[in-house]
């Protein structure tokens, strides 16, 4: 960034760190919060709600202090699947409505299984799958130490919430956002609008010898990682005969973003340092690294997802909170076009974007004696990754440089 210069040699990026920018960002997010115009969407609990693990701190309290009165799975899923009209969703700040036959129709075509009249070509990485917490809020690494995360074995009945039979146990007991977003091997696609019953309530597997797997005569109609995507799918959606796609809208900016911006910006302020910022209303406000204000932003997002709040020691440690915040954004905003920009503004792209893409071993068939080998983490060599420092900035087209002699090309191009 420091090598980016104007035609006369003037540097276009500041070289000195300015913490006050974080204070101004926090104040801007606080302006939105203080409007009291937006709130996180929550779906009320019903008889079919999958209740999070009993927790004395959260199970008996109503949202936002607990999850006694909400359905965490539906609260997240319904933001994206068209179940709630945008006019009735106070979480959405900026949106673009889409006809189902245009943007979201195309997306649904890409993520729907091939056997259900879809293109079947959206794949989710193993890195994203591993990012989701267990249902009690622990990471899968922490859960491995106690045996609560199992990499081997399969479900045999309906003993696990959300999971049908014959599904890998590594997908068991995960947080609700996982089941609202990920089409794991063996997930159910309801397709309730299909006129033919054979297309409804199908359990879809991505083994090589099945129609939704890596068939030799259908080489590009399967998720290359063996993991598909469910986010934006509505159980009524079906693009085949007699079916329809529920109208959806793009939640381009939603209130969860504002809450996590607020918490992130406050975390970057030195403890004991405060700033006076003029708010949107014209009033002066004092901004500092206030743990309770950080908790205000983070806790609402996590409890809505059926997860406990972060521990006090994480809030009190800027590095630990920063890592947790990044992790939370990776999960909460999966497939919402946020990650691309987050990794660049955090300057994490050189590491995260140079990791190989991994997934399941899609060359394993359902009939293999070692069916478990399908779930061995495998590098997807057909999609190599490379991120160079020059990619933080895009190249200016040559025709623009020709039209304006005072333009300078971005570094590395």
Give the CATH number for residue 255.
1.25.40
Q: Which domain holds residue 36?
A: 20-78+251-346
Instruction: Give percent above pLDDT 90 in the chain.
Output: 86
pLDDT at 41 over 80: yes
- 214 and 256 within one domain: no
Q: Tell me what pLDDT residue 59 has.
A: 95
More reliable by pLDDT, 169 or 370 = 169
Q: Tell me what pLDDT residue 333 has.
A: 98
Q: Tell me what pLDDT residue 103 has.
A: 64
pLDDT at 219 over 90: no
Within 10 A of 52 (CB to CB), how many other CB atoms are there? 25
- 141 and 221 within one domain: yes
Q: Please report whether residue 232 resides in a domain.
A: yes
The C-alpha atoms of residue 94 and residue 247 are separated, in whole angstroms, by 17
Please give the model's pTM, rounded to 2 decimal places: 0.95
Q: Tell me what pLDDT residue 299 has.
A: 98
- 150 and 281 within one domain: no
Last residue in a domain, options 346, 365, 389: 346
The helix (run of H) or strand (run of E) holding residue 229 is: strand 228-229
pLDDT at 102 over 90: no
Average model confidence (pLDDT) for the chain? 94
Q: Please give the tally of structural domains in the chain.
A: 2
Q: Please report whether residue 403 resides in a domain.
A: no
- Minimal CA–CA distance to 339: which of 322, 350, 326? 326
- 283 and 146 within one domain: no
Q: Tell me what pLDDT residue 370 has.
A: 80
Last residue in a domain, options 246, 279, 304: 246
Q: Please report whether residue 184 resides in a domain.
A: yes
pLDDT band at 97 (very low <50, low <70, confident <90, very high): low
pLDDT at 101 over 60: no
- 150 and 235 within one domain: yes
Whole-angstrom distance between the N-terminal and C-terminal Cα of the chain?
13
- 260 and 133 within one domain: no
Q: Tell me what pLDDT residue 88 has.
A: 92
The C-alpha atoms of residue 245 and residue 203 are separated, in whole angstroms, by 20
Q: Tell me what pLDDT residue 346 has.
A: 97
- 126 and 208 within one domain: yes
Query: Which whole number is the average pLDDT over 304-326?
Result: 98
The C-alpha atoms of residue 105 and residue 27 are separated, in whole angstroms, by 38
Q: Please report whether residue 358 resides in a domain.
A: no
- 219 and 111 within one domain: yes
Least confident of 55-59, 227-231, 338-342: 55-59
């Amino acid at each position: 960034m420091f090598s980016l210069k104007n035609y006369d040699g003037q540097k276009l990026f500041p070289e000195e760190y300015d913490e006050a920018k974080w204070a101004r960002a926090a104040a801007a997010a606080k302006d939105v919060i203080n409007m009291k115009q937006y709130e996180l969407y929550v779906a009320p609990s019903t008889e079919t709600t999958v209740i999070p693990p009993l927790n004395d701190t959260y199970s008996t309290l109503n949202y936002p202090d607990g999850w006694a009165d909400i359905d965490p799975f539906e609260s997240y899923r319904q933001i994206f699947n068209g179940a709630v009209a945008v006019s009735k969703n106070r979480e959405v700040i900026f949106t673009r409505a889409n006809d189902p036959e245009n943007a979201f129709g195309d997306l649904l075509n890409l993520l729907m299984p091939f056997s259900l009249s879809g293109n079947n070509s959206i794949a989710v990485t193993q890195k994203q799958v591993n990012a989701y917490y267990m249902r009690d809020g622990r990471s899968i690494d922490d859960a491995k130490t106690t045996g609560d995360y199992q990499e081997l074995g399969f479900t045999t009945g309906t003993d696990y919430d959300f999971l049908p039979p014959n599904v890998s146990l590594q997908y068991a007991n995960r947080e609700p956002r996982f089941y609202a977003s990920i089409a794991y091997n063996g997930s159910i696609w309801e397709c309730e609008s299909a006129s033919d019953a054979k297309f409804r309530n199908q359990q879809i597997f991505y083994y090589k010898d099945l129609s939704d797997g890596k068939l030799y005569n259908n080489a590009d109609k399967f998720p290359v990682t063996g993991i598909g995507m469910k986010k934006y799918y509505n159980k009524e959606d079906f693009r085949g005969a007699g079916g329809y796609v529920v109208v959806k809208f793009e939640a381009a900016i939603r209130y969860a973003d504002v809450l996590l911006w607020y918490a992130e910006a406050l975390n970057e302020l030195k403890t004991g340092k405060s700033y006076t910022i003029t708010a949107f209303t014209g009033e002066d406000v004092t901004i500092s690294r206030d743990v309770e204000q950080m908790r205000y932003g983070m806790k609402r997002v996590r409890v809505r997802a059926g997860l406990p709040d972060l521990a006090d020691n994480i809030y009190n440690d800027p590095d630990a909170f920063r890592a947790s915040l990044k992790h939370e954004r990776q999960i909460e905003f999966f497939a919402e076009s946020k990650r691309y920009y987050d990794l660049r503004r955090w300057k994490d792209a050189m590491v995260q974007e140079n990791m190989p893409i991994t997934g399941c071993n899609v060359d394993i068939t359902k009939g293999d004696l070692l069916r478990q080998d399908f779930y061995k983490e495998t590098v997807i060599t057909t999609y190599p990754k490379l991120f160079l420092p020059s990619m933080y900035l895009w190249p200016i087209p040559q025709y623009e440089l020709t039209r304006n002699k005072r333009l300078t090309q971005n570094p590395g191009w």
